């Protein structure tokens, strides 16, 4: 069966990797990307696939109801992987409005347009709408707490997390009320290729290469469950193709690492793999900065449900995934160097202090 798959936010990090994964594993399917190309969207991520005719790209906002309706109808979309989102907690603290507009309003627009499109085609049973979300909707864990699971109560603690929680509720409401074939996934922290350099791992790698300070919030003891993005794409593939409509799937990497330990691992890998670093040892670049307001202490995912029902489990350890990530950034300076714009440097200055944005 040929699917017509719309991937929203497909010029971004996770969605861009999903576009590459799907094009490689399902060459018979039609792939359409809708992306507004905001600061974190980079058309270079999927440019080769567009040039090769494997992906149809549409520049636009998921909040534009007329455009979304036109794309769904003109491209005969049968499946949606909805990943378009504002996703950086720090930016949500300084400017929450964009997060509400995109993550809540945009998700509503997309769900409603897909519902009308689905009904107009006779409510096909094989169609699917996958809403991709985050473990941050669950709040924060203490060191002794069990990991998040599909039954964990929501307790968002940042504007970003609250906006994603709201969008999750909308997705489930459209499934429950209208019978729309909706699936929801909640993932842990992703890392890997094509990651915009405001996030911890690419920021650390690039600052090491440039000899700039590496910011670490607080004392660096905040713990995250790190999921290699290619493992995540495999999980999303399984959910979209074999998941039960109305179900939720928690996706984690089984790799809990404190931020300071993660940065230290990256320092060691860079010293091993990168020649001519401006500062050695790299750990001399670490700077502890004022903690993020409301910084969640720990995230962790219990992924037993997706393992039991869909046969998925992560394959890449954090040590191997970080090595692959470092190698990718070293080999793809042409992708990330153009992103180091004056706006990006200004953001770093505002967020961490002038010495980090130099």
CA dist 156 and 358 (Å) reads 33
Question: How many other C-beta atoms lie within 10 A of the C-beta of residue 181?
Answer: 23
Three-state DSSP at 277 gives coil
**Under 8 Å between Cβ of 140 and 115:** no
Tokens matching residue 167: 């969008």
Three-state DSSP at 34 gives strand
User: Which of the residues are catalytic?
Assistant: 135-136, 160
**Under 8 Å between Cβ of 208 and 264:** no
**Nearest of 119, 107, 131 to residue 243 by alpha carbon:** 131
- The 8-class DSSP code of residue 102 comes to I
Task: Look at the block and give the residue holding tokens 């534009």.
Answer: 64
CA dist 132 and 16 (Å) reads 13
Tokens matching residue 83: 């990943």
Long-range Cβ pairs for the range 197-203 (8 Å, 24+)? 197/336, 197/339, 197/340, 197/344, 198/40, 198/88, 198/90, 198/91, 198/344, 198/347, 198/348, 199/13, 199/88, 200/259, 200/262, 200/263, 201/262, 201/266, 201/322, 201/325, 202/329, 202/336
CA dist 128 and 284 (Å) reads 49
């Amino acid at each position: 069966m040929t699917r017509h798959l719309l991937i929203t936010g497909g010029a971004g990090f996770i969605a861009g990797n999903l576009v590459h994964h799907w094009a490689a594993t399902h060459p018979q399917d039609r792939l359409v990307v809708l992306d507004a190309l905001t600061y974190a969207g980079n058309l270079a991520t999927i440019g080769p696939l567009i040039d090769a005719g494997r992906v149809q790209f549409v520049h636009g906002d998921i909040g534009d109801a007329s455009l979304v309706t036109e794309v769904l109808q003109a491209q005969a979309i049968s499946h949606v992987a909805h990943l378009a989102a504002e996703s950086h907690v720090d930016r949500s603290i300084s400017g929450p409005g964009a997060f509400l507009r995109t993550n809540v309003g945009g998700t509503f627009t997309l769900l409603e347009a897909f519902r009308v499109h689905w009904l107009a085609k006779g409510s096909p049973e094989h169609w699917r709408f996958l809403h991709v979300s985050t473990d941050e909707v669950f709040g924060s864990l203490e060191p002794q707490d069990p990991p998040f699971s599909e039954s964990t109560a929501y307790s968002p603690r940042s504007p970003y997390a609250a906006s994603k929680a709201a969008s999750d509720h909308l997705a489930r409401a459209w499934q429950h009320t209208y019978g729309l074939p909706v699936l929801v996934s909640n993932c842990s922290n992703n890392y890997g290729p094509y990651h915009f350099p405001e996030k911890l791992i690419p920021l650390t790698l690039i600052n090491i290469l440039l000899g700039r300070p590496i910011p670490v919030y607080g004392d660096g003891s905040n713990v995250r469950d790190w999921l290699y993005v290619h493992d995540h794409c495999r999980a999303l593939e399984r959910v979209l193709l074999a998941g039960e409509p109305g179900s939720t799937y928690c996706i984690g990497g089984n790799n809990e690492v404190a931020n300071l330990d993660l940065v230290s691992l990256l320092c060691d890998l860079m010293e091993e793999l990168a020649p001519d670093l401006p500062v050695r040892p790299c750990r001399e670049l670490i700077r502890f900065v004022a903690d993020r307001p409301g910084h969640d202490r720990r995230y962790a995912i219990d992924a037993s449900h997706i393992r039991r029902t869909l046969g998925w489990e992560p394959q890449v350890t954090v040590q191997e995934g970080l090595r692959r990530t470092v190698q990718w950034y070293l080999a793809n300076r042409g992708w990330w160097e153009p992103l180091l714009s004056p706006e990006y440097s200004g953001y770093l200055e505002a967020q961490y202090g002038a010495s980090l944005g130099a």
